[in-house]
Amino acid sequence: MVDIMAGFLEDAKFLVILAIGVMALVFVVATWVRTKSMVPTLGAILLGAVVIWGVNNFDMLENQVNEDVQHNDTQGRTRVTR
């Protein structure tokens, strides 16, 4: 049962990444059609690439944020009293 659920989760992750890629492509094409300009289209391409990279590397980003939060929590806090 666990193997089946793991397979479903991997399929769902693939479908989410595929959907994000298709949405980024539609966003780039819509920007090109609307503006017919290279600069906004390049901006749309870069934004789409950053979003796709973030979705693909979500686990790594989550681990980095958790490490930063834990590091800041263990540094000790100073309290200002009057």
Stated pTM of the model: 0.69
Give the Cα separation of 21 and 27 in Å (integer): 10
Q: How confident is the model at residue 53, as a pLDDT? A: 92
| Residue 79 DSSP class | -
Question: Contact 16/55 with Cβ under 8 angstroms?
Answer: yes
Q: What is the rounded end-to-end Cα distance, in angstroms, of the chain?
A: 60
The lowest-confidence range among 3-7, 18-22, 70-74 is 70-74
Closest CA to 25 of 7, 51, 4, 2: 51
pLDDT tens digits, one per residue of 12-69: 989 999 999 999 999 999 999 999 999 999 999 999 999 999 989 988 988 888 888 8
Domain ranges of the chain: 2-73
